[in-house]
Homo-oligomer: A and B are copies of this chain.
């Protein structure tokens, strides 16, 4: 009987457990199931455990629960540790390794597959895509993104309404989103905007050069028009010629965060306005209140697809979502080579979407799921 080990890696999402359960509900009894505890850490520290009995039932109870119930997280997966992981997998007699993750995970799977091959260890590797940042190539979009984007769109709509009522006290609100080096999430903030006076009034993404002068001018113009300004900024935005704002640097990985606070200081210092930075934070990737029905469905299906690939003995691939935009949105699942995903690196928000936001929202709306709509627009001026 073949042994399959499955793990989760990176930051959790609202639907990564849905993918896990989609996989578990379609892998059949011909496979002996193991799970890897705490992502890469478990691979290196040899934490493989049978996925069965009451634990399996507990895991399946997480079908619609945010987080990553096997443990995921971040870990400096250096080359010698990858070597060790392969030895551990081999010693445990694992035939197939499945990981749910983003760019780092696909690169890790690709390396693990190569090292195994080099020592004649027949290990199949399959990746299930997951990232709230949507910076993964080889798939139209990644599960986790739709729900995070829904969160950002709703939070921006709601916080904009709040600011409209606070203009005698606070004129500028600067909402900071996740997204790492890409603007997919920040740009999603405008999905429910209808009229120019509605927030967000300004959106900044890392793909476009950004200067202090431009920012202050934009804010001033917005204030002149509407009296208030709701600004959205991706955590990865940086001033031209400067570095990104790091919140911390832990185990070799930059934790971005804090650009909104710099912009708050800038507005307070340079313009005679009161400003507030709002970091949307962890809720973006884990809020149970903003799970997209479409994202949840697709997350489940990519898990199911991975189970099918394993039954067909396929290796070295990531499950890929092909989006079909006809009268109604639909999707089908294919695969792409891990090596292609890795070689293409981080996937940025295309300039076409930045220059023509409506084309981005046409692409985005089906991914946000059902039951969201714009609010009544603000009065044009107060």
Contact = CB atoms under 8 A, between A and B. Distances in A.
Interface of A: 8, 11-12, 37-39, 41, 58, 61-62, 65-75, 154-155, 157-159, 161-162, 164-170, 173, 248, 250-251, 274, 276, 278-283, 285-290, 375-376, 379, 382
A283 B158 contact: yes
Given A158-B287, A251-B169, A375-B65, A71 B164 contact: yes
A75 B38 CA distance: 51
A67 B286 contact: no
23 contacts: A8-B165, A11-B162, A37-B382, A38-B168, A39-B168, A58-B376, A61-B376, A62-B376, A66-B158, A67-B162, A67-B164, A69-B165, A70-B165, A71-B164, A71-B165, A71-B168, A154-B288, A155-B287, A158-B286, A162-B285, A250-B274, A276-B282, A283-B283
A291 to B, nearest CB: 10
B11 A166 contact: yes
- Copies of this chain: 2
Contact of A289 (B11, B169, B290, B376): B290
A41 B168 CA distance: 7
Given A65-B375, A167-B73, A379-B58, A161 B290 contact: no
Contacts of A70: 165
Contacts of A61: 376
B165 A72 contact: yes
B289 A159 contact: no
